[in-house]
Amino acid sequence: MRVLVLGGDGFCGWPTALHLSDAGHDVMIVDNLSRRGIDAELGVRSLTPIEPIDVRLAAWREVSGRDIRFVNCDIAADFDGLCEVLGEYRPEAVVHFAEQRAAPYSMKSAGHKRYTVDNNVNGTHNLLAALVDLRLDAHVVHLGTMGVYGYGTAGVSIPEGYLPVSMRADDGTEVEQEILYPPNPGSVYHLTKTMDQLLFAFYNKNDNVRVTDLHQGIVWGTETAQTVRDPRLMNRFDYDGHFGTVLNRFLMQAAIGYPMTVHGTGGQTRAFIHLRNTVECVQLAIEAPPAKGERVGIYNQMTETHRVDDLAKLIAGLTGASIEHVENPRKEDPSNELFVKNSGLLALGLKPLTLADELLGEVISIAERYADRCDPDKIPAQSKWRLPAPADVG
C-alpha cells in the first residue's frame, strides 16, 4: 500500500514510518520539522541524540534496502503544497500525526494557544478538503487522544467513540441513537482533537471520506524493533516540562536521581500504551480500512490505565528513586477513575504490552546512557493552566 505519513519525523511518526516500511508498505513522509523548531524555541533537546531527517532516511536505506521519501511541507499553512504531494503520490492511506501535541505547550500563552488551534485544526481540515478536491479515496488514519472524553467516568467504561442514547420523541415513543461521546477536553491541545472529530464526522457524512480515528492514551517507551537497527535511526525522547509525558519523565527522572514530579495528589488516572504497540495499531488500522460510506471508525488505542501516584511508587520500588508531590500547574480533577473499552484493536489482533519490568528497565537504561544530555532546569512543568487572579498581578 502507498502510505503517506504526515508528521513522520516525530516521536510516534518516525518509528511508525519505519515499521510500515519494514512491513512492505511504500512510505512517504511529510513533515515541516516544526517539532525540532519548538525544541530550539524552548532551549531543550531530545534526551536521545536524533539525526536530521536526511541522515535518518539514508541510514534506513542502508540497513533495510528500502526507500522512504520525504517532503518538507506545512500541512496547515501550505494547502497547495499538500495538494501537490497528494496528487503526485496518490496515497491509499494517509496517517495523520502532524499536530502540535503537548498540552502544557498549548497552554503556555495566548500565542501558543492560537498556534495550536491554527496548526491542528487547519492541518486536519486542509487534508480533508484536499482529498475531496482531488477526488482521492485515501483512508485517513488519525492519531487522536483519549483526552477527548475527559477522564472521570463514574464507573462507566468509556466506549469506542460512540455513546448509545435513548430519547423520548414528542409522540412518546422511545428513540435509540448513537452519538459521538460528549467531548470534554482538558487543554487547548485536547480541544483541537475534539474539533478534529467534528471535521471527520462532517467530511465522512458529506463526502464519504473514509476515516479511522485512533483515540490514543499516553505513549511510553522510546525504541522499536526498527529504530534499534542503527544508532542513526534513534527515536526522540522528550523529558522537558512541556513535551515530556508522565511515565517517560518519571523513568528518566529516576535514572538521573531527580525526584519524580507527581502533580498534586497523583490521583489522576490515565490510559497508557507502549510505543511498540502504537506502531502496530497504526498498521492494523490501515490494513482494515472502513468500507466506503461507513461512519468514522473510532478505536481506543490504549492497553492499560494507571494512577500517576501508583506509577511513581512502582518506579520508586524498582529504582529507589524519591517522589515529590509538586503543586499541580494544570486544572484537572485531583483524582479520577478510568475504565476504557479497547476491544476494537484487540479484535484486529493487537497483543498488548504492559508495564513489565524489562520494558521499564529498557527506558531507564536509555535515560541513564544519555543522562549527560539532560538539562535539569528544563524538567519542572512551568506552563500554568490558570492566569494569576487580577489582585495578584502588579
Element holding 300 (H helix, E strand) = strand 297-301
205 part of the active site: no
Which residue, judged by CB position, is nearest to ligand USQ in the bound state? Answer: 147
Catalytic annotation, pick one of 89, 124, 193, 212: 193
Q: Tell me, residue by residue from 168 to 207, as one string, x for binding to ligand NAD by CB under 6 A and - for no binding.
A: ----------------------------------------
**What does the alpha-carbon distance between residue 258 and residue 321 come to, in Å, rounded to a whole number?**
8
Using CB under 6 A as the binding rule, whether residue 60 contacts ligand NAD is answered as no
Using alpha carbons only, how large is the chain's radius of gyration in Å? 21
Q: Smaller CB distance to ligand NAD: residue 10 or 289?
A: 10
SS3 category, 230 = coil
Q: Which of residues 18-57 bind ligand NAD (CB under 6 A)?
A: 31-35
Nearest Cα neighbor of 46 from 4, 14, 5, 6 is: 14
Nearest Cα neighbor of 76 from 34, 126, 10 is: 126
Using CB under 6 A as the binding rule, whether residue 126 contacts ligand NAD is answered as no
- Side-chain half-sphere exposure of 189, counting CA atoms within 13 A: 22
Among ligand NAD, ligand USQ, none, the one that 342 touches (CB under a kind-dependent 5 to 8 A) is none
**What does the alpha-carbon distance between residue 385 and residue 114 come to, in Å, rounded to a whole number?**
15
Which residues share a beta bridge with 340? 158
Q: Which residues bind ligand USQ (CB under 6 A)?
A: 101-103, 145-147, 217-218, 245-246, 249, 261-263, 268, 270-271, 308, 328, 330, 332, 381
145 part of the active site: yes
Among ligand NAD, ligand USQ, none, the one that 22 touches (CB under a kind-dependent 5 to 8 A) is none
Contact pick of 3, 4, 12, 234 for ligand NAD (by CB under 6 A): 12
Q: Smaller CB distance to ligand NAD: residue 11 or 200?
A: 11
The stretch near ligand NAD (CB under 6 A) out of 157-165, 215-223, 305-313, 376-384 is 215-223
Which residues share a beta bridge with 211? 140
Which residue, judged by CB position, is nearest to ligand NAD in the bound state? Answer: 10
- Which cell numbers hold the place of 69? 521519501
Among ligand NAD, ligand USQ, none, the one that 330 touches (CB under a kind-dependent 5 to 8 A) is ligand USQ
Look up cell 508528521; give the residue. 7
189 part of the active site: yes
**What does the alpha-carbon distance between residue 355 and residue 312 come to, in Å, rounded to a whole number?**
13
Contact 9, 29 (CB under 8 A): yes
Look up cell 480533508; give the residue. 128
Contacts with 111 (C-beta within 8 Å, 6 or more apart), sequence order: none
Q: Tell me, residue by residue from 134 to 173, as one string, x for binding to ligand NAD by CB under 6 A and - for no binding.
A: ---------x-x----------------------------
Catalytic annotation, pick one of 189, 239, 258, 370: 189
Hey, what amino acid is at 349? G
- Give catalytic residue positions: 145, 189, 193
Q: List interacting residues with ligand NAD (CB under 6 A).
A: 7, 9-13, 31-35, 74-76, 97-101, 119, 123, 143, 145, 216, 218-219, 245
